[in-house]
A and B are shown apart, each in its own frame.
Chain A
Amino acid sequence: DGGITQSPKYLFRKEGQNVTLSCEQNLNHDAMYWYRQDPGQGLRLIYYSQIVNDFQKGDIAEGYSVSREKKESFPLTVTSAQKNPTAFYLCASSFRTGGTTDTQYFGPGTRLTVL
């Protein structure tokens, strides 16, 4: 089955700790994305990557970091510098050819709670 997996589903973190969220895809997609979703605010782009070893900041990158060492994987680290990290985090992937094949497909999400 092709798809996007995120782990863990639920994650609890103490204040001051860094935590890494996993995202893996086997769709052979070039581009991968991380979004944050808060109630009533829709999806906000954190980081995206169009190719291995390259990534760009999205609208709310402060307090987050990413890496893209493999095409299939795009882990997100939530650092202690992120002021309000409790949220639902979504990973997505797509081709990037300039048409409807750019459609993004989402993983099931990780719910991060800071205690």
Chain B
Amino acid sequence: AQRVTQPEKLLSVFKGAPVELKCNYSYSGSPELFWYVQYSRQRLQLLLRHISRESIKGFTADLNKGETSFHLKKPFAQEEDSAMYYCAPSYNNNDMRFGAGTRLTVKP
């Protein structure tokens, strides 16, 4: 069965500290990988996708095919990063499944 695991439901860090949100996936083939973010009272929106290899709002994510992981990282967390984060592998037909999500709280 296809599965996405985000092991931490809640993650709390202080402002300026590094943060890593973990994501492991279990899929046949080679899915495309995304991170989505949901700020308070807003709709989900794309944060970044692995194929772009870009940094968005200071976040990066490295795909490790050997470990089937796509962890999201930021070296210095900011209070405005507090949100719900979802890892989402996508099949090549664009059928997208989401992890259970990690709620990140950045404390002042």
| A and B physically associate | no
Footprint of B on A, CB under 8 Å? none
Footprint of A on B, CB under 8 Å? none
